[in-house]
Structure 1
């Protein structure tokens, strides 16, 4: 059975560290602690005294003053790893955690999970080919030497880099290493850890290289593991659940996140708020519990993005440069059908095309697989279609050799609507107002990843009103925009009533509009 030696990097909250050590070791696992040398000596002495009689706890022999982005973080980690290897010969796995991490599964589940596959868990992506680094310097992290901390010595940090550039002091990356990058929260087998420690003693040149790179805790272990372990024995993922906001800050979890955390496909979570005492108590008790069945739905990130996105409706204040001089054409007419239920929008679009011979295209800005003619590549992805929206529509008018074209849009595309209405062409809008049952919203949540088959029922029941409210909010935004030539069909209205706005939208007689509005199963789910 797996026996885990947790490698704990910490710098604060000694009471929480003591509780974490007692909780983890009570389940038969081990803990090796590195406590930042910058922290209070009294806090370190408190931890040592409280855990002195626990044979399953070890301490790094050397305490390092750690700084974010510095080699000192790797140095402190290696010190704790070395102490763990020496103190716990029965440990099969070494799992990196921080003082802000907590288990979100039971010890029983965690051990069974690690026993299931003889592999290492570590994010390990190609440094240069992947898009893991979103902003800031990239190659400069490696080819220049970094002696100053960017957060505490900003001027020295950037001045040093600039002078190295001017003097041509870029260095070579070791020839036999493919630099990898990923999260610092890994779980490695004992054999892998022993190989790494042996490598650190043998390859002093590599150690010197990483010692002056920037943010080496994201590259050091990630590179060495990929260098030593076959691909088939690496799972390129972390077992610690963490999320970041749009501002690059880690998301903090509180008392009401308990059910969400348990349903994620991870063993630990970071960061747990120090104030979330009830959450800490419940997660702590969970680790020692046996026989718990976890329903993994893994919707945490998509749910977070959905909830954060509500209320953050932004607008562009200037046209894109590729749109500045493009127009669909003054004599052309764009007909837009707005429907949240895509199957309803598609059915109506098919009947319109049948009855009027107006060329129609379904959700081209919402659905990647929408059938489109070859327009030289501009149509290949939703991103390209949206970026070059006016050019795309102009080409579609030309392709179909028409001055009237109909498309479907999801109601969350207010930005697109504003842009089309700002064009010299005539734009007409028909919104289809439908009813949303709880069952349909439940299915919608599963289709877009907000919920899974194993999402707890109480979580779904809380989510349904929020999603329904979001639908109404999207519709209200469109109506508040007060677009010209805007019409509304309602599922609850009769075909004769709906024929009136439909006739105006299509500029056809009401008799023909009634035939379209009477389409069989138009609103059927």
Structure 2
């Protein structure tokens, strides 16, 4: 078994997903969560183990954390695994798999994270209470108002959110809220500590479940609570945010000019229309 587990959150671009699996499988244990909204059969490949349970991941929702925790728990059961790297299905290596393995062999926690000032606007994501996994609490517009109404299930969830709201001040006295990118690589020791914290203190899941954009804060806040914040290094995943829409999708063959100067070993976003660029990356950067 490989010492390194690559964990993929897949929701689109099945052709790219399968190509990624074929390239990584010889050197890594590769597992994936397929979004409940996607055609699962389109992602089936012998190179990647698909988790049996699927979550419907909406923008800014806790479901992404639930899926990541499922992947992490499964990855820890694989014999010999020592690092766990979470990426999106639209991510691709911009260095050779062998070079990626050398980087992971360093056994360093790599995650973008900044401690958030309690009085800042960003802190309102956790100070306030949200319902991001529901139709009435969608953080991104797009749903008609006729669908934004309470039913029996939502009413029960609102009651849970209210309990979380009342408990939030005590939680924030014990935790330093931190945020960063969703994509990270963690050592076994850190992964086990995070899952231990989740098991020992249910307040972490409860507070994040009813916060805004928890996928940028859950693991960062856990790491801060575990006093590991000073030992982490930047994420291994590059994204280009200076475009509209953002992040930029790498599809043009000429994008290799930008990518070849980057230091991080992984980049996103790519898609099924990125075939020619991906082939060029494998030819010139690997």
Report the TM range for the smaller structure's normalisation. 0.7 to 0.9
**Structure with max Cα Rg:** 1
Distance 2:237 2:82 in 1: 18
Matched residues in 1 for 2:119 and 2:21: separation?
36
Deviation at 1:273, TM superposition (A): 4.1
**TM superposition shift of 1:280:** 1.4
Pairing 1:16–2:7 present: no
Q: Counterparts of 1:333-352 in structure 2 under 5 Å? A: none
Whether 2:69 is the aligned partner of 1:70: answer no
Per the alignment, do residues 81 and 245 of structure 1 end up closer, same or farther by CA in structure 2, a change over 3 Å counting?
Answer: same
Match of 2:238 in 1: 241
1:124-144 Cα deviation digits (max 9, x unpaired): 10122798xxxxx63331122
Identify if the C-alpha distance between structure 1 residues 14 and 130 changes in structure 2 by more than 3 Å, giving closer, same or farther: farther
Counterpart Cα distance in 1 of 2:230 and 2:108: 8
CA distance in 1, matches of 2:118, 2:175: 15
Q: How does 1:377-388 map to 2 (within 5 A)?
A: none
CA distance in 2 between counterparts of 1:188 and 1:99 reads: 18
Equivalence for 2:211? 213
Counterpart position of 2:158: none
53, 60, 79: which one pairs with 2:51? 60
Q: Report deviation, 1:221.
A: 0.5
Q: Structure 1 residues 29, 9: CA separation in 2 closer, same or farther (over 3 Å shift)? A: same
| Contact 2:223–2:229 (Cα < 8 Å) also in 1 | no
Aligned runs of 1:57-456 on 2, under 5 Å?
57-86=48-77, 88-116=78-106, 118-128=107-117, 138-147=122-131, 148-151=137-140, 152-153=142-143, 171-172=168-169, 173-235=171-233, 237-245=234-242, 247=244, 249-253=246-250, 254-284=252-282
What is the aligned residue count?
Answer: 262
Matches within 5 A, 1:19-58: 19-26=19-26, 28-39=27-38, 43-48=39-44, 50-51=45-46, 54=47, 57-58=48-49
- Summarize deviations over 1:388-407 as a string: whole Å, max 9, x none: xxxxxxxxxxxxxxxxxxxx
5+ residue gaps in structure 2? Answer: 132-136, 150-160
Gaps of 5+ in 1: 132-136, 158-163, 290-525
Query: Relative to 1, partners in 2 of residues 1:113 and 1:169: Cα closer, same or farther, differing over 3 Å?
Result: closer
Q: Deviations over 1:465-497 (max 9, x none)?
A: xxxxxxxxxxxxxxxxxxxxxxxxxxxxxxxxx
CA distance in structure 1 between the partners assigned to 2:84 and 2:254 by the alignment: 30
> TM-score, normalising length from structure 1?
0.46
For the Cα contact (< 8 Å) 2:96–2:282, is it kept in 1? Answer: no
Sort the Cα spacing of 1:256 and 1:180 in 2 relative to 1 into closer, same or farther, 3 A: same
Deviation, 1:229, is 4.8
TM score, norm. by length of structure 2: 0.81
